[in-house]
Amino acid sequence: MLGLPYPGGPEVERAARGGRRQPVRISPADARRADANFSLSGLKTAVRNEASRLTPLQPQDIADLCASFQAAVLESTADRLSVGLKLFHEAVRPAPRAGRRRRRRRQSGDPWRAAGGRRNRADPR
């Protein structure tokens, strides 16, 4: 697609170092989803469409596409993690109990009384 050798990850990283993110805007399509699922296939399609629009590709175009792709992957991953954490906290957080007050234990030197028990008067302790 961009003429980079396999595996593409290290080559995308090298090319992105000389690229500018601003010229090419690749927006993650997952940003509007309410769930935490995501896919990078939409980003790959956006890069392919942008690359075909810029044909013939100059080295700076490739660098800009790689920088934009990396920024979009990071943005998409951070967004999905944020949504996932929010969903997790909503699922784990117990609902507040209305109308029930927490009993306070009496502060006493006697552990039996502090636990809420009564002492037997016949008990010598």
pLDDT digits (tens, 9 = 90+) for 10-21: 888 888 888 887
- Looking from the CA of 10 toward its CB, the CA atoms found within 13 Å total 3
For the segment 25-51, the average pLDDT, to the nearest whole number, is 77
pLDDT digits (tens, 9 = 90+) for 57-110: 889 998 999 999 898 888 888 888 888 898 888 888 766 666 666 666 555 565
Measured CA to CA, the distance from residue 47 to residue 33 in angstroms comes to 21
Closest of 49, 53, 87, 59 to residue 3, by C-alpha: 59
